[in-house]
Structures are given as structure tokens and as C-alpha cells.
Amino acid sequence: EAQVTQNPRYLITVTGKKLTVTCSQNMNHEYMSWYRQDPGLGLRQIYYSMNVEVTDKGDVPEGYKVSRKEKRNFPLILESPSPNQTSLYFCASRGQAYGYTFGSGTRLTVV
């Protein structure tokens, strides 16, 4: 089944403790992206990647890092999480015909 898999689904962490949210897709898509969703603000792009080793900032990149060493994986790294990064995160990959396919989301709480 074609899908985007994110892990974990839920995460509670403390300020400053490095964490990684993994994202993997099995559709051989070149384009992948991370979004965060906050009430009243909608979905905002954090980082995107057009292919292996090619990444760029989206609209809200501060406090995040990404890497794209393999085509299928696009992890999101928070080196020093802060409470304002508490949010719902989505990974997505893009095909040609059907727009983006989203992962199931990661609910992150930073205390």
C-alpha cells in the first residue's frame, strides 16, 4: 500500500532534549515536505526536499533541521525543542497526479 509513515504518533518531551521524528515513503517520490499545524494558523511548511541531498527552508524553519540521505526517508530533527514547538506535525510526499500524500501526523508536546 502506498503510504507515508511517521513515527512516533505522540511524543511528550522536555525543553532542550533533542528529538527526531521519522518519515518514510514507499512511492519513490522525489519531493518530500514537513508541515506543522496550529489552531488558527493552518498548515505551514517547515522544510522541503526536492531530492536526495537537496533540502530547503519553508515558511517556518527556525528550530528545525532535516536531512535527506535516502530517497524514502526525510527525518525532522529538533536539536533543542522549546514549548512553542508544541504542535501537530505532518510529513508529506508529492506525486505528479494526486498532489501530496500525508503521513498520519505526530502530536508533539514540549514541556
Partner 1 sequence: EDKVVQSPLSLVVHEGDTVTLNCSYEVTNFRSLLWYKQEKKAPTFLFMLTSSGIEKKSGRLSSILDKKELFSILNITATQTGDSAIYLCALLNYGGSQGNLIFGKGTKLSVKP
The residues that touch partner 1, with contacts defined as CB under 8 A, are: 31, 33, 35, 40-45, 48, 50, 56, 58, 90, 92, 94, 97-105
List residues bridging with 97 in a β-sheet.
none
Least distance to partner 1 from the beta carbon of 80, Å?
26
The residue (of 44 and 65) whose beta carbon lies closer to partner 1 is 44
Least distance to partner 1 from the beta carbon of 2, Å?
12
User: How many other C-beta atoms lie within 10 A of the C-beta of residue 50?
Assistant: 14
Query: Phi then psi for 92, rounded to 5 degrees?
Result: -145, 150
Least distance to partner 1 from the beta carbon of 108, Å?
14
The residue (of 19 and 91) whose beta carbon lies closer to partner 1 is 91
Helix (H, G, I), strand (E, B) or coil at 97: coil
Scan for cell 526517508, then name that residue.
73
The residue (of 63 and 105) whose beta carbon lies closer to partner 1 is 105
13/51 Cα distance (integer angstroms): 30
